[in-house]
């Protein structure tokens, strides 16, 4: 029997109208703000998906140097080290991630993968169980726990966990295929004067979406506002937890539906002067999704 172990990382995807390639975007972001731990973390994540494991480690190490308590960066660097078969280094990074964020389910899942490779099945099962406790609908953790249980000879419990993983994965795949049927029909922005707007002036954003085969309850719409802080000096390392004050996430409210077209709107007020970029993203929404970005299904406007 062949078991597949799944290891996961984390990224916060952003969008600029100037760039369609995430690697190019984050490289540009870093050139404008060399103190952005978020940009280094995200570029490191992208490099890992392109099998540039050492490049990923270098970027993630830079993110950690800027923000030493950055749990997500430790988790992502652990993944890259695991790809290079540096199991001990990966274990140390996952331990760090958990110490800074004890609720980071991915880190428990990924540490469990390392423990399996170190023949510590009991420890792996404990980590997978903790990940599932934190995220009760964590399909990957159920799958991996099934692997560890099966390797330990506990086939019945392994099957139970595999069944749960299959159930959740089938739902995810179904949503993925239906999500491809929606498209952005129209976007209206009011309150801005060309490329500028006054401080404390309110901007209204309206977006119309053809829902395709989705119900309105399965759709989330957000505006992402990025303050270009390239002129600022931000010392992340002094903060107890990683946090990027230059990004606002504003959820648009559902307004109405007509002929399959959903309308959402929000109002946003800029309270300080500076350079801002913004984008509208459409993502899937469901009670089992702890983070709508986790499925990497995002349409940008």
CA distances from 249 to 5, 62, 192, 225 (A): 33, 25, 19, 7
Confidence check: pLDDT of 3 > 50: no
Residues 228-250, mean pLDDT to the nearest whole number = 48
Q: What is the DSSP letter of 241?
A: S
Lowest average pLDDT, out of 26-35, 213-222, 274-283, goes to: 274-283
Map out the domains of the chain with their CATH numbers.
Answer: 22-176 (1.25.40.10), 182-300 (2.60.40)
Beta carbons of 44 and 26 less than 8 angstroms apart: no
Confidence check: pLDDT of 301 > 50: yes
Say which residue, 286 or 174, is predicted with more confidence. 174
Give the pLDDT band of residue 117 (cuts 50, 70, 90): very high
Give the pLDDT band of residue 195 (cuts 50, 70, 90): low
Lowest average pLDDT, out of 60-74, 223-237, 276-290, goes to: 223-237
pLDDT above 90: percentage of residues in the chain:
53
Query: CB-based contacts of 107: which residues, under 8 Å, 6+ apart?
Result: 71, 74, 75, 78, 94, 97, 98, 101
Per-residue model confidence (pLDDT) at position 32 = 82
State the chain's mean pLDDT as an integer.
Answer: 83
Per-residue model confidence (pLDDT) at position 289 = 64
CA–CA separation, 114 and 128 (whole Å): 11
């Amino acid at each position: 029997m062949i078991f597949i172990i799944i290891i996961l990382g984390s990224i916060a995807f952003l969008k600029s109208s100037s760039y369609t390639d995430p690697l190019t975007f984050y490289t540009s972001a870093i050139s404008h703000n060399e103190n952005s731990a978020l940009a280094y973390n995200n570029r490191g994540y992208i490099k890992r998906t392109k099998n540039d494991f050492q490049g990923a480690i270098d970027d993630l190490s830079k993110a950690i140097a800027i923000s030493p308590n950055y749990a997500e960066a430790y988790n992502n660097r652990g993944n890259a080290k695991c790809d290079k078969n540096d199991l001990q280094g990966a274990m140390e990074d996952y331990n760090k991630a958990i110490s800074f964020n004890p609720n980071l389910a991915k880190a428990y899942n990924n540490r469990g993968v390392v423990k399996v490779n170190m023949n510590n099945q009991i420890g792996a099962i404990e980590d997978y169980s903790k990940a599932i406790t934190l995220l009760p609908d964590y399909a990957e953790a159920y799958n991996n726990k099934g692997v560890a249980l099966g390797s330990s000879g506990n086939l019945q419990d392994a099957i139970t966990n595999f069944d749960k993983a299959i159930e959740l994965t089938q739902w995810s795949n179904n949503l993925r295929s239906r999500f491809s049927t929606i498209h952005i029909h129209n976007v209206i922005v009011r309150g801005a004067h060309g490329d500028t707007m006054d401080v404390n002036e309110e901007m209204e954003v309206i977006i119309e979406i053809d829902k395709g085969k989705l119900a309105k309850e399965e759709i989330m719409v957000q505006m992402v506002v990025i303050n270009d802080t390239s002129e600022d000096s931000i010392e992340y390392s002094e903060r107890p937890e990683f946090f990027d004050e230059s990004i606002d996430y504003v959820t648009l409210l559902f307004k109405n539906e007509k002929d399959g077209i959903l309308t959402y709107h929000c109002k946003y007020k800029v309270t300080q002067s500076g350079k801002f970029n913004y984008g509208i993203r459409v993502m899937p929404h469901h009670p089992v999704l702890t983070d709508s970005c986790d499925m990497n299904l995002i349409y940008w406007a």
